[in-house]
Chain A
Amino acid sequence: MSEMWLNMGPQHPMTHGLWNLRVKIDGETITEAEPVVGYLHRGWEKLTETRTFPQIIPMADRLCYGASLSWSHCYCLTAEKLLDVEVPERAKYIRTIVLEAQRIGSHLMWLAALGTDLGSYTVFLYPMRERELFLDLMQDLCGARLTYNYPRIGGVRNDVPANFERDFTRVLNHFEKKIPDYEALCDESTVFHMRMDDVGKLTAEQAINLGVTGPNLRGSGVDYDIRRDDPYDAYSQIDFNVCVQKSCDAYARYRVRMDELYESVNIIRQAIKDMPKGPVRVKPPRNAVKGKSDWAHTEDPRGEAFMYIIGNGDDHPYRLKVRSPIFVTVSAAAWMLKGYKVADVPAIMGSVDMCLGETDR
């Protein structure tokens, strides 16, 4: 009985991003797992200390590029708390709408990547087709496809274009009819069930203790969603469900994200209907108060995004700390992988929805 360490990465078609998963295998069974990250470390937090507060917004976009608007929005929330800025109501509703559109885009990208991991190229093509529609909507709004640079400290950059409601309604109506297509591709496929059911189990106590958050936590049966439990923007005025599954395996995490697609469509529809009129941006103060520090957290598509900022009396932060959800979930990978086969690794890590930009910062 000989065991060996196997390097999966840094160049591997399964890795969503650049990391190295070292697994200790006994035949085909994994006995230990050790993730090695740091291939994308650029010292983001140190670079922010030399930039002014608005200059950090496009940097925050490039933290996790799969859900870039979610991170620049989290940074804007943190900076608004530090600089004591009150965001107008219309901006809060616009932010909610684009955040949910970004959540849909991020989940579609996750589903496409999961398809490539499991070897099903069709599951890659269908979600990417619909994701392009949402990227078109974002392009009408702010001019970019991937890194938007749209939220500002004090609101959003510009008001919505003229045909906003018509375009969004069209895309949402079309998209809602397509979600059952994706579900049929996956849920009615015996091979998909064989690969995803009962693999990568993480119990609720393990998940909470190891710091796992977001859909990965809700797939283990824990009912916690920051949008409902510590609301920001317009979420406190919108009715929505929190999607929780009890079976703790990779299939449960997949199922949570598919349900969240339906919920996001619901949230966008309500927000468009209830959006008030008014300004979309206020001017924040240039300098922070010395000795003041604050933090904010949001529900990123991947978990709890948290930023902690300390001001020093001038116009750039003294310290900006980013807590990335996937950084902590990757450390829990060792628990999720023990006892399963090497061929289960893409299914398990695919169900976790990794994005290495935010892990390494």
Chain B
Amino acid sequence: MRTEVGKVEQRQGLAAGGKSGETIAKSMLEKFPNGVKVTSTAANRVNATVDRGLLYKVAEFLKNEMDFEHVTSVSGVDWYPENRMQAVFHITSYANRVTAEIIVDLPRDSPEVDSVTPLWGGANWNERETYDMFGIIFKGHPRLERILTAPGSDYFPYRKDFAGGRRV
């Protein structure tokens, strides 16, 4: 009852006919000359920093024109000493076999950013969890509620000013 599956020649990195990380970075910089800073590229990686007003447009561009179909992760980082937070999006393209890391800087007293859930359903729970843990508000999220902490909690646990330690 063994089903035979064929192999694919492409072993690692780029897919046949796919765009490499450098090509994608160049297209991004062409389309958004201000507000997007590419920090590093490799054949299958793109790392970029994006202004928070531009995030949704960059996400749309990646999805529709660069074939990025899958959101791997959405996370938050709390830079407490520098009074800012970051939302970090990792988006993968199966067609090109490239992963993009998009970092958005947010001010700590109003951490709001656009949600990418309307584009990729996979970001839904990841964004909910980032809200639950950091308090980063994703505008346009269908249901931004607590997901992991106990119901009725009023704290954001992963922030650096929340003292860890025994509480219950």
Binding site for B on A (CB under 8 A): 37-38, 41, 43, 45-47, 49-50, 180, 183, 187, 206, 208-213, 222-224, 228-231, 236, 239, 241-245, 255, 259, 262, 295, 297, 304, 306, 308, 310, 318-319, 321, 323, 327-328, 330-332, 360-361
Cβ contacts A to B, 20 pairs, < 8 Å: A38-B150, A45-B158, A209-B122, A210-B122, A229-B10, A229-B12, A230-B13, A230-B44, A236-B11, A236-B12, A239-B7, A262-B2, A295-B101, A297-B72, A319-B77, A327-B129, A331-B122, A331-B124, A331-B125, A332-B121
Most buried by A among B70, B120, B133, B147: B70
Known contacts A43-B164, A50-B164: A259-B5 contact under CB 8 Å = yes
Known contacts A259-B2, A323-B126: A304-B72 contact under CB 8 Å = yes
* Contact yes or no, B90 A295, CB < 8 A: yes
CB distance from A51 to the nearest CB of B (A): 11
Known: A208-B69, A212-B122. 15 other contacts (CB 8 A): A38-B147, A209-B121, A239-B7, A242-B5, A244-B5, A259-B3, A306-B72, A306-B73, A306-B90, A310-B77, A319-B77, A321-B75, A323-B75, A323-B126, A331-B124
Known contacts A222-B94, A360-B148: A211-B122 contact under CB 8 Å = yes
> Number of B residues contacting the other chain (C-beta, 8 Å)?
44
Bound Cα distance from A297 to B45, whole angstroms: 13
* Contact yes or no, B12 A230, CB < 8 A: yes
* Contact yes or no, A323 B72, CB < 8 A: yes
Known contacts A45-B158, A209-B69, A306-B72: A187-B164 contact under CB 8 Å = no
Bound Cα distance from A224 to B149, whole angstroms: 33
Q: Which 9 A-B pairs have the closest CB atoms?
A: A211-B122, A323-B73, A321-B75, A331-B125, A41-B148, A38-B148, A210-B121, A241-B5, A208-B69
CB distance from B89 to the nearest CB of A (A): 11
Bound Cα distance from A206 to B124, whole angstroms: 14
* A242 CB contact (under 8 Å) in B8, B125, B147: B8
Query: For the complex, is B6 an interface residue (Cβ under 8 Å from A)?
Result: yes
A37 proximity list for chain B (CB < 8 A): 147-148
Bound Cα distance from A209 to B116, whole angstroms: 12
* Contact yes or no, B157 A327, CB < 8 A: no
CB distance from B81 to the nearest CB of A (A): 10
Bound Cα distance from A125 to B150, whole angstroms: 37
CB distance from A223 to the nearest CB of B (A): 7
* Contact yes or no, B73 A321, CB < 8 A: yes
* Contact yes or no, B3 A43, CB < 8 A: no
* Contact yes or no, B157 A245, CB < 8 A: no
B12 proximity list for chain A (CB < 8 A): 228-231, 236
